[in-house]
């Protein structure tokens, strides 16, 4: 995960985290025939990989452009490794660090 600018300056750490954005991508894909065969054969590694590749991917990035690059890189690596044949990004949602804190109900803990 990339750290936001000024994160290493202790007095600006929380402020710098507010520059961090979390993304959740939804995508469609199809496993390659080769990968499907390894799943059928009961390959444990393939089983774990298939559980992780479920049509959504959560990650952080500093801006939308870097998020798009990071997501496409992740999905292209799955194609290059012959796990999926192709992909189509359906949706890319973003949430700031502050919004993520509220979503996880951590704001109540931090405000004490």
Enumerate the domain spans of the chain: 21-110
CA distance 35 to 38: 5
Given a cut of 70, whether residue 4 has pLDDT beyond it is no
CA distance 112 to 110: 6
Query: In the sheet where 56-61 sits, what is the strand order?
Result: 56-61, 21-31, 84-96
Reported as a single tens digit per residue, the pLDDT across 22-78 is 999 999 999 999 999 999 999 999 999 999 999 999 998 888 999 999 999 999 999
On whether the pTM is more than 0.85, the answer is: no
């Amino acid at each position: 995960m990339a750290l936001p600018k000024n994160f290493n300056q202790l007095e600006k750490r929380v402020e710098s985290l507010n520059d961090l954005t979390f993304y959740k991508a939804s995508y469609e894909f199809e496993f390659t025939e080769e990968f499907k065969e390894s799943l059928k054969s009961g390959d444990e590694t393939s089983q774990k990989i298939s559980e992780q590749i479920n049509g959504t991917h959560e990650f952080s990035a500093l801006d939308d452009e870097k998020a798009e690059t990071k997501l496409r890189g992740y999905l292209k690596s799955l194609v290059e490794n012959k796990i999926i044949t192709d992909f189509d990004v359906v949706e890319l949602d973003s949430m700031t660090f502050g919004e993520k804190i509220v979503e996880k109900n951590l704001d109540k803990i931090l405000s004490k």
